[in-house]
Amino acid sequence: MRYVSTRGQCPAVGFTDAVLSGLAPDGGLYVPEAWPTFSRARIEGFAGKPYAEVAAAVIGAFAGDEIPAADLREMCEEAYATFNHKAVVPLVQIGPDAFLAELFHGPSLAFKDVAMQILARLYDHLLGAQGRTQTILCATSGDTGGAAVEAFRGRKNVKIVALFPEGRISEVQRRFMTTAEEDNVACVAVTGTFDDCQAIVKQAFQDQSLRQAVDLTGVNSINFARIAAQAVYYFTTAVALGAPHRKVSFCVPSGNFGDAFAGYVAMRMGLPVARIATATNANDILARAFETGRYVRGAVQPTISPAMDIQSASNFERLYFETVKREPVETARAFQAFAEAGAIDIPPSAYAAMREVFRGVSIGEDETARTIVSTLNETGELIDPHTAVGVAALRHVDLPGPVVVLSTAHAAKFPDDVAKACGAMPALPRGVANLADRRERFDRLPAEAETIKAYVRAFAER
Ligand SMILES: *Cc1c(COP(=O)(O)O)cnc(C)c1O
pLDDT of residue 312: 83
Q: Tell me, which fold does domain 91-110+227-422 have in CATH?
A: Rossmann fold (3.40.50)
Please state the domain extents for the chain. Answer: 91-110+227-422
- For atom 2 of ligand 1, the residue with the nearest CA is 307
Task: Please indicate whether residue 253, judged by its CB atom, sits closer than 6 Å to ligand 1.
Answer: yes
**Which position among 49, 86, 112, 325 bears the catalytic label?**
112
Beta strand 248-253 pairing with 158-165:
unpaired
In this prediction, the residues of the chain whose per-residue pLDDT falls under 50 are none
Please choose from 259, 276, 309, 358 the residue to mutate so as to test ligand 1's pocket, defined by most ligand atoms within 8 A of CB: 259
Cα separation, 339 vs 341, whole angstroms = 6
Cα 131 to middle of ligand 1, angstroms: 33
pLDDT of residue 364: 98
Cα separation, 287 vs 354, whole angstroms = 12
Question: Model's pTM, two decimal places?
Answer: 0.95
Task: Please indicate whether residue 361, judged by its CB atom, sits closer than 6 Å to ligand 1.
Answer: no
Task: Please indicate whether residue 261, judged by its CB atom, sits closer than 6 Å to ligand 1.
Answer: no
Report yes or no: 436 and 131 within 8 Å, Cβ to Cβ. no
pLDDT of residue 168: 82
Task: Please indicate whether residue 316, judged by its CB atom, sits closer than 6 Å to ligand 1.
Answer: no
pLDDT of residue 410: 96
pLDDT of residue 196: 87
Cα 303 to middle of ligand 1, angstroms: 13
Exposed, middle or buried by CB within 10 Å (0-12, 13-18, 19+), for 329? exposed
Cα 258 to middle of ligand 1, angstroms: 8
Task: Please indicate whether residue 165, judged by its CB atom, sits closer than 6 Å to ligand 1.
Answer: no
* Shortest-distance atom of ligand 1 to CA 258: 7
Task: Please indicate whether residue 194, judged by its CB atom, sits closer than 6 Å to ligand 1.
Answer: no
Please choose from 309, 372, 386 the residue to mutate so as to test ligand 1's pocket, defined by most ligand atoms within 8 A of CB: 386
Exposed, middle or buried by CB within 10 Å (0-12, 13-18, 19+), for 172? buried
Please choose from 111, 119, 312 the residue to mutate so as to test ligand 1's pocket, defined by most ligand atoms within 8 A of CB: 111
Cα 256 to middle of ligand 1, angstroms: 7
Report yes or no: 76 and 118 within 8 Å, Cβ to Cβ. yes
112 is a catalytic site residue: yes
Cα 254 to middle of ligand 1, angstroms: 6
Task: Please indicate whether residue 307, judged by its CB atom, sits closer than 6 Å to ligand 1.
Answer: yes
Task: Please indicate whether residue 408, judged by its CB atom, sits closer than 6 Å to ligand 1.
Answer: yes
pLDDT of residue 105: 97
> Side chain identity at 44, as an amino acid letter?
E
pLDDT of residue 189: 97
What is the three-class DSSP state of 459?
helix
Task: Please indicate whether residue 308, judged by its CB atom, sits closer than 6 Å to ligand 1.
Answer: yes
Taking Cα atoms as reference points, which of 154, 356, 391, 139 lies closest to residue 264? Answer: 356
pLDDT of residue 370: 98
Cα 261 to middle of ligand 1, angstroms: 12
* Shortest-distance atom of ligand 1 to CA 253: 10
pLDDT of residue 142: 77
3-state secondary structure 366-393: HHHHHHHHHHHHHHCCCCCHHHHHHHHH
Cα 253 to middle of ligand 1, angstroms: 7
Task: Please indicate whether residue 112, judged by its CB atom, sits closer than 6 Å to ligand 1.
Answer: yes
